[in-house]
Each structure stands twice: as C-alpha cells, then as structure tokens.
C-alpha cells in the first residue's frame, strides 16, 4: 500500500506532510520555503504558473493572478461578502449562480479548477520527494465548512488525481500534531488563517481524539486585515496627493503586497515603513508612496474584526459544556495568530497564555499526515471522533427547517424523525435536505432534493413518514425516507447541489491529465534555467578572471559555449538548454584543467627559484 500524504489547502499558503516512523515530516515545496503560496497565474505567453513563481509576477500581471480562491469554494455568487471582492481579478457568477473567477482574456475557472492546479503541483513535489506515485490524501478544511464546500474541496483533489481518504477539520488536525496519543487533556484550537476562522474544543484520552464542539466564521481571515490596511493607505494617499490609485491597473496590487508585508512586520516591531516609488504620476512628475505604519494604527483598523471572535470563543466552551478552567491548553493555528493583538484576545478569552511551540503554518498539514497514517492502517493507537459542524434537517410546511442532526453531534451518527403529509390523499412527499442554523428554509443551504412515492392515500396527518439521517466517520451523509405503513422507502447518498456535477469533474480530470505533462515540463524548465544561470555565472567569472592565462582558442571556445547557453536560456527551450549546458560544462572542465596545469607549472618554477637561491647562499 502506498503512503497517504496530508495536505493543508490554505487560503494564503498550502503545506503538505508525510508520516514517517510515527512522526510527521513536512515535504519541501522545491522552491525554498516549506509552504507554497496558494497562487495560480496565467501568463501572456500561455504558461500556467503555480506557487511562488506565480506570486512573484502578480504586480505586473494582476488580472491573471488568482489568490485566496479558497474563499470561493462551494459558494454561490450572491452569498459572497463585500470583503471577498478585494482581489485583483474578477469574480463573476456562472450559469448555475456559483462564484467563479474570470481572468483578463475572458476565460472563467471554477474555484475547484484553480485549487486542483495547486494540488497538482504539490502532488508532483511529493512524488519527487518520495520517489513513488502519490494517489491517496487526507485533506483539511475549515471546521465550519458546509457540505457543499467540503465536496468542492474533494472535487479539487479528484481533478488533481488524488483519492481523498478523509476530509479532516483543520483544528482537529492541529490537535493531532500537537498532542501525544498517551496524554489526557482538554484542548482549545484557535485557528485564524488567511480566509477563515475556526475554533474547536477537543478531549484527548488514551489516543482517542474527540471533538466536543466547534464553531467559526468562513468569511473572516487575515485577508480582511490586509483589505482594511489597503483601504486606509489608498485613502491617505488620495488625501495627500489627490490621486485615486484604484484607477491604475497595477498600483492596487503593489499596495496589497506592501500592506501584507507591513502586517507581518508589525507582529515583530512597533512600526514599519512602506515605500513604493513611482506609484503614480502627476503634472509635476512621478509621485512616490512613503508612509510609516505603526502597530497601534493597524490595531485600530482591525480591532472590530478581532473582537468579533471573542463571542465565538465563549460559545464553543458553552457548546462543549466546559469552562475556561477545564482547559489545559490553547493552541494557535494559522499565520494571522502571530498578530500580538489577536494573541492577547485569546489569552483574555481563555484566561491562559496560548502555547507558541508549534509552527502555525505547518501544524495542520502535519496533523493531516498523522491522520493519513491512521486511515491507511499504519497507526493503530489513534481514534478520531469528529463532530458535525452545522445542523442538518429537512424543509417542512411553510418553509420551516426541522432539525434532525444538530451541530456538534459526534460522528458517526444516525438520527431520525417522524413526519406526516400536508394535504389529503397525498401520495408523493418531497424531501428537501438542508444545512444551517437558521429557522427558515431560505436562510439555510440546500444540499439535496428527492421524492418518496407510493404513499397510501389517507387524510392529511395520518401517514407516518420516517426520515433518517446517518453520517459516517468520513462525513458522508445518507438520507432515508420510509412510509411506516407500506414499507416503501427511498435512500439517497447526499451529493450536495451546486458546484460541479460528476460529469464536470470527469471532464476536468481529462483536462488535468492533458496538462500534467505540460506542467511537469514547465517545472523541469524552471529547474534547468536555474542550473543554467548558475553555470553562466561560473563561466562568466572564469572568463573575466582568466583572460590573461588562457590562449585565444580556449577563450573563444568558452565565450562561444557561454553565449549558446545564454541564448537557449532566454528562448526557454528545454532541449537546447540541456545541450548547451552539457557543452559549456565540458568546456569549463577543459579550461579549469588548463588553468590547474598552468598553476602547477608556476609553483614548480617558483620552488626552483627558491632552491637555486638557497644553493647560491650556501655556496657563499
């Protein structure tokens, strides 16, 4: 059986890990950092970039650079909050009303497609690291994701060629990575990432990780802090210079990147500077953006958003039936938890200092890898007991939702309720499956619809229709409707409405396979260009320092090979780069041998002079 990797598909950054010998090891992205920016870009030349290379070119290519797409997963366009639109690309509805991204050339992509491109890159890097094909994955999602969002995440994995063994809540994953299986403790996990906020309370007893309660806000994250700071900077610049930077296609992206850097720097210092030269132009010439941002100013901007998490901290304890005295540990997860003001709020809410011993960017992926070792059978000492994040029910007469499984119910679970008909002689009953915490149907998320037919005609209120909901350990919902009199029943495995259909997913899998070789060639080209740049540097240095030592033919051969590699690199031709790199390596080897021989001869000449001198001195 192959290994199962763990992936934290994040809003800002993504991370992957593998369990080796019971320990979770973070797999390097191949680009330096241990986390990969969740960024996809489409270049004018038709290339598709993923990760850090996509992020680096965002300023010059803002309309075709997609960031924070996780906030759109499984979402209808009319559900989106205003803050989600603070991106450089366009967000539009498709013919199903789902939110999709539109790039500069008019093409549209679903969030699942963009996410699958990120996952494909991670899959390739994992295979490179392990030396074998990777197919199985445990992927994490915010605890407060609904069924549609969870299915969208699974679809993204499927398109990328990954088989999802389990969809795991991010706070649960963090607790797995942080806590030893033999410990007994109650933990609160405060997870504040780039696009979502979750908080969960777990109890760990002898290797059993039981989630007691969870809550959160899928529309709150570090991106919202960035947006507030960007808005303030632009208003200040307009007030001082009379220029609205929103009218420029590139300037807003420069400000966004500067604001994100400032936010990170203010976690470690009391003030930071933003310097963006030539950000705009006026009748007097170029205009530069120069500002000093203090921590107190930044905290004033984000205070209301941070304070909005306090009631949720209190609510999750109440739902778990605990008080802050019952908690042994509070764990911080997500890059935004580095903000001092947020850490202070957590300490105040739980009456204890949160632990700082885990890397908030990596702990979720590490926990997912540990879960992968559990579902693949490698570890037998752990049991994961999660809970439902939202209430599940059905629509009843008058558009009212009747709960069947309430939020924070332990998984797996089965619950049922008895219903009846609304009109006389009714022979068909429509079952409308809903998810959410509101009382009216229209305020909750529709998951599925089906019909139970063949009910024996009777006055309204007489028939007895049992509707049973069951959810397995993987969070898959099954709904069964049964006529208690006739015994006729209808069962449905809920495939949430909205998002991609099975046919859509199959088509995208075919497209992804077509791109697979092209993507790998692109990565290979980038790696070969990096090697070529190093070789060009070495050859140029040798050429400049050895002109007076090498003969004319050797210099000409070295310069010719160097020019050939430069041309191949600039043309981005993989075959030409490999050939030119081989030729330059051979020429360099020959030139270095010549120089070594010349150095050896010089040393002999020098030692001979010293010996002769000594002999003369001896003769005298």
Is position 8 annotated as part of the catalytic site? yes
Q: List the Cα angle 78/80/83 in 5-degree steps.
A: 140
Closest among 421, 399, 471 to 479, alpha carbons compared: 471
Q: Which of 98, 155, 170, 528 is catalytic?
A: 170
Using DSSP's 3-state secondary structure scheme, residue 467 falls into strand
Q: How far does CA 386 lie from the centroid of its chain?
A: 22
Closest among 277, 262, 403 to 339, alpha carbons compared: 262
User: What does the buried/exposed string (b/e) look like for 213-250 if buried means 16 or more CB atoms within 10 Å of the residue's CB?
Assistant: bbbbbbbbbbbbbbbbbbebbbeebeeeeebebeeeeb
Token duo for residue 122: 């991670």
Task: For the beta carbon of residue 526, count every other beta carbon within 10 angstroms.
Answer: 14
- DSSP letter, residue 455: P
Is position 407 annotated as part of the catalytic site? no
With contact defined as beta carbons under 8 Å apart, do 115 and 141 qualify?
Answer: no
Using DSSP's 3-state secondary structure scheme, residue 306 falls into helix
Is position 64 annotated as part of the catalytic site? no
The CA-atom distances, in angstroms, between 496 and each of 149, 251, 466 are 9, 40, 21
Position of tokens 């059978």?
A: 377
Number of H helices, E strands in the chain: 13, 27
Q: Which of 55, 64, 70, 151 is catalytic?
A: 70
Using DSSP's 3-state secondary structure scheme, residue 73 falls into coil
584 CB-contact burial (10 Å; exposed 0-12 / middle 13-18 / buried 19+): buried
In whole angstroms, give the CA distance from residue 367 to residue 16.
Answer: 10
Q: Which of 191, 224, 361, 483 is catalytic?
A: 191
In whole angstroms, give the CA distance from residue 420 to residue 218.
Answer: 36
Q: List the Cα angle 314/319/320 in 5-degree steps.
A: 100
549 CB-contact burial (10 Å; exposed 0-12 / middle 13-18 / buried 19+): middle
DSSP 359-379: -TTTHHHHHHHHHHHHHTTS-
Q: How many alpha carbons lie under 13 Å from residue 382 in its C-beta half-sphere? A: 26
Is position 533 annotated as part of the catalytic site? no
Q: Are strands 40-42 and 23-26 parallel, antiparallel or unpaired?
A: unpaired
The CA-atom distances, in angstroms, between 77 and each of 23, 68, 97, 216, 550 are 41, 15, 6, 21, 68
Residue numbers annotated as active site: 8, 70, 170, 191
């Amino acid at each position: 059986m192959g290994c199962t990797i763990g992936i934290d598909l994040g809003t800002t950054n993504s991370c992957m890990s593998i369990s080796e010998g019971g320990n979770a090891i973070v797999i390097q992205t191949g680009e330096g950092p241990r986390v990969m920016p969740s960024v996809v870009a489409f270049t004018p030349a038709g290339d598709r970039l993923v990760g850090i290379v996509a992020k680096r070119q965002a300023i010059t290519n803002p309309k075709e650079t997609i960031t924070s797409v996780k906030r759109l997963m499984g979402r209808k366009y009319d559900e989106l909050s205003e803050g989600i639109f603070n991106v450089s690309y366009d967000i539009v509805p498709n013919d199903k009303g789902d939110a999709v991204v539109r790039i500069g050339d008019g093409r549209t992509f679903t969030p699942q497609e963009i996410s699958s491109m990120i996952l494909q890159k991670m899959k390739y890097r994992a295979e490179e690291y392990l030396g074998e094909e990777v197919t199985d994955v445990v992927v994490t999602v915010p605890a407060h994701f609904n069924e549609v969002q969870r299915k969208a995440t699974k679809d993204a994995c499927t398109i990328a060629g990954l088989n999802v063994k389990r969809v795991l809540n991010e706070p649960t994953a963090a607790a797995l990575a942080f806590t030893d299986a033999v410990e007994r403790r109650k933990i609160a996990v405060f997870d504040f990432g780039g696009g979502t906020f979750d908080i969960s309370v777990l109890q760990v007893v002898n290797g059993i990780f039981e989630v007691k309660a969870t809550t959160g806000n899928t529309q709150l994250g570090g991106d919202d802090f960035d947006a507030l700071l960007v808005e303030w900077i632009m208003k200040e610049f307009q007030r001082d210079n009379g220029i609205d930077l929103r009218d420029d296609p590139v300037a807003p992206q420069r400000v966004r990147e500067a604001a994100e850097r400032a936010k990170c720097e203010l976690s470690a210092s009391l003030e930071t500077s933003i310097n963006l030269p030539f950000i705009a132009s006026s009748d007097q010439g170029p205009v530069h953006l120069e500002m000093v941002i203090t921590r107190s100013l930044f905290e004033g901007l984000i205070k209301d958003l941070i304070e909005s998490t306090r009631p949720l901290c209190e609510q999750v304890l109440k739902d778990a039936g605990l008080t802050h005295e019952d908690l042994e540990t509070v764990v911080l997860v997500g890059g935004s938890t580095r903000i001092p003001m947020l850490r202070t709020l957590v300490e105040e809410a739980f009456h204890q200092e949160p632990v700082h011993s885990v890397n908030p960017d990596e702990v979720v992926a590490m926990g997912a890898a540990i879960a992968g070792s559990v579902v693949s059978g490698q570890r037998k000492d752990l049991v994961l007991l999660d809970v439902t994040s939202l209430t599940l029910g059905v629509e009843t007469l008058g558009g009212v939702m009747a709960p069947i499984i309430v939020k924070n119910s332990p998984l797996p679970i089965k619950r049922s309720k008895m219903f009846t008909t609304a009109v006389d002689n009714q022979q068909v009953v429509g079952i409308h499956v809903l998810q959410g915490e509101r009382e009216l149907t229209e305020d909750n998320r529709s998951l599925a619809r089906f019909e139970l037919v063949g009910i024996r005609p009777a006055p309204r209120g007489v028939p007895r229709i049992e509707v049973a909901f069951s959810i397995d350990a993987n969070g898959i919902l099954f709904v069964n409707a049964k006529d208690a009199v006739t015994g006729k029943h209808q069962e449905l495995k809920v495939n949430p409405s909205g998002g991609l259909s099975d046919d859509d997913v199959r088509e995208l899998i075919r497209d992804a396979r077509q791109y697979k070789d092209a993507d790998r060639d692109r990565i290979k080209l980038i790696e070969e260009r990096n090697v070529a740049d190093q070789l060009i540097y070495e050859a140029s240095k040798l050429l400049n320092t050895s002109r007076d030592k090498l003969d004319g033919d050797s210099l000409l051969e070295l310069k010719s090979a160097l020019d050939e590699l430069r041309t191949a690199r600039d043309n981005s031709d993989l075959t030409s780069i490999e050939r030119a790199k081989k030729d330059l390596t051979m020429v360099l080897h020959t030139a270095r041998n010549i120089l070594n021989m010349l150095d050896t001869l010089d040393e002999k000449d020098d030692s001979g002079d010293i010996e002769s001198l000594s002999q003369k001195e001896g003769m005298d």
